[in-house]
Amino acid sequence: MKIVVCVKYVPDAQAGPRFAADHTTDRAGVDGILSELDEYAVEEALKISEAQGGSTVTVVTVGPEGASDAIRKALQMGADAGVHVVDAALHGSDALATSLVLAKAVAKLEPDLVLTGMASTDGAMSVVPAMLAERLSLPQLTFAGSVAVEGGTVRIERDGDASTEVIEAALPAVVSVTDQINDPRYPSFKLIMAAKKKPVQTWSLGDLGVAAEEVGAAAAWTVVDDVVARPPRQAGEVVSASDGDGGRKLVAFLAGAKLV
């Protein structure tokens, strides 16, 4: 069984988001990491591979030169191989262009199962898995809280506010998983050393038959017009119960906020 996991290289959220003059993500001077939500997809792929026996897990990413770090982390977790699509023309690509390039790369690998995270930690749009499935003409099972593969089918459970949905589809299929599905493993020293010998292919847009005019900021359907920093959190009001007036002030505050 061939499993492909689509992952993304994102700026470390702990550093705080920054944007360049063209309103794209500013990666200069900010450490990049494998998107934390994608770690759950990698872990689930490894669990399925271990259960199936004889399966392979390949991670695919689309991004700048530094995006190889995201592949390296997935390989250290236990993935077998990686594919890095890198091309200068990709800068400024939106979700539509990203899904196009990913679809071309995934199709070239001919997997039985495609896994993704539920969203990226920088864009947080949650639309690429659906777009990817549409471009590949494959069934999509999204926001999976559990995944089971048996024979030629994949079954997921999706937890909602009032119920749990059980959805099944024939393979091949695209499945996105939530951050509740598992606990990603921490790479051991042995896995870290083994990752150095695992194959990583680098593909350009030309290798995938994608024209430069189809990607990048000029081809984007969505554009960021402006970026405004979140205002600093205001200090709260402390009401002491010892002055005998705390109850009245609390009721006044709740009434002012239309909570009572």
Mean pLDDT of the chain: 91
Structural domains counted in the chain: 1
In a domain, 230, yes or no: no
**Parent domain of 40:** 2-219
Q: Starting at the edge strand that comes first in sequence, how are the strands of the sheet with 164-170 ordered?
A: 146-150, 153-159, 164-170
Q: What is d(CA 22, CA 31) in angstroms, rounded to the nearest whole number? A: 20
The answer to whether residue 224 is domain-embedded is no
Q: Is 250 part of a structural domain of the chain?
A: no
Q: What is the pLDDT of residues 86-128, one digit of tens each?
A: 999 998 899 999 999 999 999 999 999 999 999 988 877 889 9
Task: Band the pLDDT of 204: cuts 50, 70, 90.
Answer: very high
Closest by Cα among 143, 117, 120 to 17: 120
In a domain, 247, yes or no: no
Q: 31 or 192: which carries more pLDDT confidence?
A: 192
Q: Which of 44-53, 116-125, 146-155, 237-246 has the lowest mean pLDDT?
A: 237-246
Task: Establish if 123 belongs to a structural domain.
Answer: yes
- Contact of 143 with 176, CB cutoff 8 Å: yes
Q: How confident is the model at residue 178 (pLDDT cuts 50, 70, 90)?
A: very high
Residue 135 lies in a domain: yes
In a domain, 241, yes or no: no
Question: What CATH code is carried by the domain that includes residue 160?
Answer: 3.40.50.620
pLDDT band at 214 (very low <50, low <70, confident <90, very high): very high
